[in-house]
Each structure stands twice: as structure tokens, then as C-alpha cells.
Amino acid sequence: MFSILAERVRQKNRTVAYPAGEPVLPDRFRGLPRIDATKCRAACTTSCAAVCPTGAIQVNKGRLAIDLGRCIFCGACADACEDGVISFSREFRLAARTRKELIHTGREGTLVRALDLKMRRLLGRSLKLRQVSAGGCNACEADTNVLATVVFDLGRFGIQFVASPRHADGLLITGPVTRNMRLALEKTYAAVPEPKIVIAAGACAIAGGPYIGHPEACDGADSVVPVDLYIPGCPPHPLTILDGMLRLLGRIEAKRV
């Protein structure tokens, strides 16, 4: 008994402080891209757009925009741009309520807006989600599963993953939704009682990721079911997922600090 207590004292509290405190991110973490339009030359060959493997970079009349829903945060664009127009910040709060809000032009965007009051009252302080891996590579699934560990302790917020869609308040979808998984996703969505929410986590679930345009992929969850929350990344960091869900539930104010 004493050895157990001593070990507990030695390990201290291993749960992250977020959202009460600032999170500690890994040194190699790539967050919200920075776009410095003042460095963009008129004679630029748009090398950044040319190297993007998912077509996330749009250049229109000299204006640069990055679709965070397509972006896999590989950093190839920043390496290809000789003028340093694109760089990656440490900002992990990336989730959005609509696809349009994921088009990043370098300006500071609005963080996730909470569900309407009726939905928040209905969900109360408990949100049960059925996770659907719709053809994913298991990276997004791994970073979703890790939320249940002592480090992130998703249960302290009343959020829990359940085995049956009939016991769920909504779905969290990963993967590009392959043709073989489309019917399974449709049936799972239909099995969730109304009203329900849908979360698309990762570049694949949002827009198809590296499989965009492939005949065996549906290019994201919203081609099959309506989506209430988009969480970018490849895979999204667990804190990015956690932040998006907490803001959706109104647990964190929708403003930048």
C-alpha cells in the first residue's frame, strides 16, 4: 500500500492542464499556417501550390489561401517558398463549424461556435460518441483513442466513446469514407437517435486527404452525412480534437486570447 502511494506522489498529476492552463506541445508540432502576403512577389511561380500533395493551396490574383480541410501539414509549401511567405505557427486551435471557415488567408479566424442553446441543454454535461473509422490509416483513430488515457482524460468533461450508435449522441468520423464503408456509415448515422451531431476528424474525413479524387473514396464525410464540426490535421493533435469538442459544447468561449 505504501509503495503504491509513494509511486503516486512520485508521478504527480499526469493529466494536462488544458483548458484551465496552457498545453505543452511537442517541439516539431505544426499548427495554423502563417501567410505573410507582403513577401509574396508578383513574379512568383507559385511553387508552394505546385508541391502541395492535396491541392490545399489556392492562388487567385496574387492572393494566397490554404484550405485547412485539405492540408496535411507536411510543410512542403514552406520549404518550397524561397521568400518565406508560408510558415507554421504553434496554434493548435484549428477546428471549425463549416468548410468555408477552413479556408485560411492569413487573417485570424473565428474559433468554433457552440451548438445552439437547445442542443446544449439536451446534451447537458454528457456527450456520447460512436467513432467510425471509414477507411482511415489508423493515425487519426490513434490520436482519438489516446484522449481516453490519463493524460487527456476525456471523461472528466463528460465525453465518452460508446460501442453502439444507438447509445450515442453523435458520430466522430475518421478516414476518407471509402466506397466499401459508405453504406456502413449511412447505417450507423441512421441508428443514432435524433437529434444528433457529426464530427469529421482529420484531412481524410474532411476532404479525402491524400486520396482526394480517387474513384474508391467519397472525399470526406460530408458527401454522405451532414457534418457539424470539422477538425483539421493529418492526424489532428489530441488537443486540437479536445479543443474543438469543448468549444462545440460551449465549455470554452469562442474567441482568441
Residue 150 lies in a domain: yes
How far apart, in whole angstroms, are the C-alpha atoms of residue 191 and residue 189? 5
Residue 160 lies in a domain: yes
Query: Are the C-beta atoms of 190 and 225 separated by less than 8 Å?
Result: no
Q: Counting Cβ atoms within 10 Å, is residue 75 exposed (0-12), middle (13-18) or buried (19+)?
A: middle
CATH number for the domain harbouring residue 187: 3.40.50.12280
pLDDT at 14: 76
Residue 213 lies in a domain: yes
Taking only the tens place, the pLDDT of each residue in 73-87 is 999 999 988 888 899
Residue 257 lies in a domain: no
pLDDT at 42: 58
Residue 152 lies in a domain: yes
- 100 Cβ contact partners less than 8 Å away, ≥ 6 residues apart: none
Neighbours of 46 (CB within 10 A): 16
> Grid cell 491524400 — which residue?
210
pLDDT at 257: 40
Mean pLDDT split into 10-residue runs, the chain, 257 residues: 76 82 90 86 72 89 87 93 88 96 86 91 88 94 94 93 96 96 97 96 96 93 96 96 95 63
How far apart, in whole angstroms, are the C-alpha atoms of residue 224 and residue 117? 26
Quote the number of domains for the chain: 1
Residue 170 lies in a domain: yes
Kindly report the pTM of this predicted structure. 0.92
Residue 145 lies in a domain: yes
How far apart, in whole angstroms, are the C-alpha atoms of residue 111 and residue 96? 7
Residue 254 lies in a domain: no
Domain holding 165, by residue range, is: 117-248
